[in-house]
């Protein structure tokens, strides 16, 4: 078994959703104190009473709190795992309690928009300067310097069920990677490292688009050949737009790229896959979002990437088509007939 962490300094996790809970349970196996933050006092009371969160038992070493000041002042290492739409506001609340010595390793696979949508038009199109990854939000909103992210094939339910898995800790700082590895690694959870922080973040964000599309193929029962075709073309599309946004093509061939893409594009445990599956069954995007307990980041990402692709002149036929489906300009069946006729380029060297 992995060595135990004998330090009494607690480790923090912000966000008591399925992945935040899974990360907390992993941390608690090697750390005597883990502080898990949930926003509402009611949720904290419910979790503490049942010792369950997101459908799973929580480790005895986990203390649940709704006090961000307590988390910030008690923990040197914090794992923020909240939806991208709430990430900046969370950081604004947490920032007064953070110092340069803190290490933050986030697990959020989405974009933050730092501009009012009303200000976007043909004269001022959406661009990379308007879009932030979560590591960029952390640095903008706090004094924290040592920042990293978690990305990989990390279906929360499988991790909570203690099935084998792996993730990538990415950071510009080797120390952050070592800390993440020491805190999280155990006999069934492997931790790889990467210094390509932005590239790894983009992998986790962009694969959600392809997972939505893969879900539609499953929903229409088009078969595994069609799904493999779609995912392979989706990977190429991820690389093209990822490079335009500052990512390194090599990242997309890693565990955080193709590995995460495979897991989320084939599993009913993936929220984004589920969105696509339900779209193919005839539900509207509004009905699906209203009924989901947790956020599927891919829906928001489709809209953002559709605009960014236009700004940078990158053709992203899969994203464009899914955007039309979500906007009810095309049915799922029409979308797949369109993509089967689309003149995709021959296989190219994406590296």
pLDDT one-digit tens code per residue, 290-327 = 999 999 999 999 999 999 999 999 999 999 999 999 99
Point out the annotated binding site: 15-20, 39, 109, 152, 156, 207, 260, 270-272, 295, 297
Distance CA(1)–CA(320), nearest Å, equals: 48
pLDDT of residue 3: 35
Name the fold adopted by 11-195. Rossmann fold (3.40.50)
Written as six digits, the tokens of 83 are 């939806």
Distance (Å, whole) CA 184 – CA 98 = 22
Could you tell me the pLDDT band of residue 1, with boundaries at 50, 70 and 90? very low
CB burial class (10 A; 0-12, 13-18, 19+) of residue 255?
buried
Domain boundary assignment for the chain: 11-195, 205-341
Structure tokens at 9: 């300094």
Using alpha carbons only, give the angle 100, 102, 103 rounded to the nearest 5 degrees. 120
User: pLDDT at residue 4 above 50?
Assistant: no
> SS3 for 106-134, per residue?
ECCCCCEECCCHHHCCCCCCCCHHHEECH
User: What contacts 347, CB < 8 A, 6 or more positions away?
Assistant: 236
**How far is it, in rounded angstroms, from Cα 226 to Cα 229?**
5
5 has pLDDT over 50: no
Taking CB atoms within 8 Å and a gap of at least 24, the contacts of 219-226 are 219/276, 219/277, 219/278, 219/279, 219/280, 219/281, 219/332, 220/280, 220/332, 220/333, 220/336, 222/336, 226/336
Residues placed in the known binding site for sn-glycerol 3-phosphate: 109, 152, 207, 260, 270-272
Instruction: List the binding residues for substrate.
Output: 109, 271-272
The topology (CATH level 3) of 205-341 is 1.10.1040
Contact 127, 151 (CB under 8 A): no
Tell me, what DSSP letter sits at residue 263? H
Q: Which residues are annotated as a binding site for NADPH?
A: 18-19, 39, 109, 156, 271, 295, 297
The CA-CA-CA angle for residues 299, 151, 192, to 5°, reads: 165
Model pLDDT for residues 214-260, shown as the tens digit of each residue? 999 999 999 999 999 999 999 999 999 999 999 999 999 999 999 99
Active site residues: 207
Taking the CA of residue 295 as centre, how many other CA atoms within 13 Å lie in the half-sphere pointing to its CB?
19
Query: Would you call 270 helix, strand, or coil by DSSP?
Result: coil
Mean model confidence pLDDT for the chain:
94
- 155's CB contacts (< 8 A; 6+ apart) are 165, 263, 264, 267, 269, 270
pTM, entire model: 0.94
The residue ranges of DSSP E strands in 16-83, in sequence order, are: 34-37, 52-53, 56-57, 62-65, 77-80
Neighbours of 198 (CB within 10 A): 19
167, two tokens: 């993730």
Q: Which residues contact 246 (CB under 8 A, 6 or more apart)?
A: 128, 198, 202
Q: Residues 145, 104: contact at Cβ < 8 Å?
A: no
């Amino acid at each position: 078994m992995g060595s135990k962490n004998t330090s009494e300094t607690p480790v923090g996790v912000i966000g008591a959703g399925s992945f935040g809970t899974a990360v907390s349970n992993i941390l608690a196996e090697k750390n005597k104190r883990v502080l898990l933050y949930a926003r509402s006092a009611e949720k904290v009371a419910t979790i503490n009473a049942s010792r369950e969160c997101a459908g799973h038992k929580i480790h005895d070493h986990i203390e649940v709190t709704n006090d961000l000041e307590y988390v910030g002042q008690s923990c040197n290492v914090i794992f923020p795992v909240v939806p991208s739409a709430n990430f900046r506001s969370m950081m604004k609340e947490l920032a007064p309690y953070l110092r340069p010595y803190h290490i933050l390793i986030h697990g959020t696979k989405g974009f933050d928009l730092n501009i009012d949508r009303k200000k976007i038009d043909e004269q001022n199109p959406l661009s990379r300067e308007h879009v932030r990854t979560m590591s960029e939000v952390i640095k903008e909103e706090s004094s924290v310097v040592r920042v990293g992210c978690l990305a990989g094939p990390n279906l929360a339910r499988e991790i909570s069920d203690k099935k084998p898995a792996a993730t990538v800790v990415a950071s510009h700082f080797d120390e952050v990677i070592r800390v993440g590895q020491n805190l999280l690694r155990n006999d069934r959870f492997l931790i790889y490292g990467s210094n390509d922080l932005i590239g790894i973040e983009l992998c986790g964000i962009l694969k959600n688009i392809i997972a939505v599309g893969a879900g539609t193929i499953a929903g229409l029962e088009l078969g595994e050949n069609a799904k493999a075709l779609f995912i392979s073309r989706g990977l190429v599309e991820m690389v093209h737009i990822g490079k335009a946004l500052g990512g390194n093509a090599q990242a997309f061939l890693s565990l955080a790229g193709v590995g995460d893409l495979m897991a989320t594009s084939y599993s009913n445990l993936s929220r984004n896959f589920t969105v696509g599956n339900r779209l193919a069954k005839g539900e509207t995007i509004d009905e699906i979002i209203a009924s989901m307990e947790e956020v599927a980041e891919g829906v928001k990402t489709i809209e953002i990437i559709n605009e960014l692709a236009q700004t940078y002149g990158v053709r992203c036929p899969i994203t464009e088509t899914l955007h039309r489906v979500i906007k009810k300009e095309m049915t799922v069946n029409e979308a797949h007939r369109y993509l089967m006729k689309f003149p995709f380029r021959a296989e190219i060297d994406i590296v």
